[in-house]
Structure 1
Amino acid sequence: MAGHATPHFQNTNGYPSIEIGVKEFMCVGATPPFDHPHVFLDMGDDSERVCPYCSTLYRYNPQLKANETVPADCVFDEEAV
């Protein structure tokens, strides 16, 4: 994703898994001030990755855009905080 902003995702509602449309991303945990260190995750050739801080399971869904998630409320907007 060189040259593009890295999407950030949050799991404030504690979902067991989140579908995302990218394989390189940042997990922030919950919405600040309850976030964890913002960690870069890369799925590589896999289609799933677990955040080592909050244990959220992220699943790659190629039908989603970079700014879409399932459930729909998991995109983190840094400017809104």
Structure 2
Amino acid sequence: MAGDATPHFHNTEGHRSIEIGVKEFMCMGALPPNDHPHIFLDMGEDEERICPYCSTLYRYNPKLNAHETVPPGGLFEDGPA
């Protein structure tokens, strides 16, 4: 969809897993300046995906919207440029 930004998620708190409401997303590891390269991950038909950089386990939860995480606070929201 044109105009839709791919959500970026982080695991600064070091949770074992993070539930998200999308299957295509970017993982950045931790918040800047401690982030790793922001990489695109696609779960495809699977329900979970492990980031190859930081080993965060992301689990798809269809009850969540694209900007929610469980535990809360895992969405990266970049401020104005």
What TM-score bracket applies, with the shorter chain setting the length? over 0.9
- For 2:11, the aligned partner's letter is N
Partner residue in 1 for 2:9: 9
Identity among equivalent pairs (%): 68
Deviation, structure 1 residue 64: 0.1
Distance 2:19 2:5 in 1: 19
For structure 1, the residue ranges without an aligned partner over 5 or more in a row are: none
Equivalences for residues 2-81 of structure 1 within 5 A: 2-3=1-2, 4-79=4-79
CA separation of 1:64/1:37 partners in 2, compared to 1, >3 Å: closer, same or farther? Answer: same
Mind listing any 5+ residue stretches in structure 2 that lack a counterpart?
none
Aligned pair count reads: 80
Q: Which structure dedicates a bigger proportion of its chain to strand? A: 1
The 4+ residue runs of structure 1 with deviation greater than 4 A are none
Report the CA distance between 1:80 and its aligned residue.
Answer: 6.8
Cα root mean square deviation, aligned: 1.4
Aligned residue type for 2:18:
I
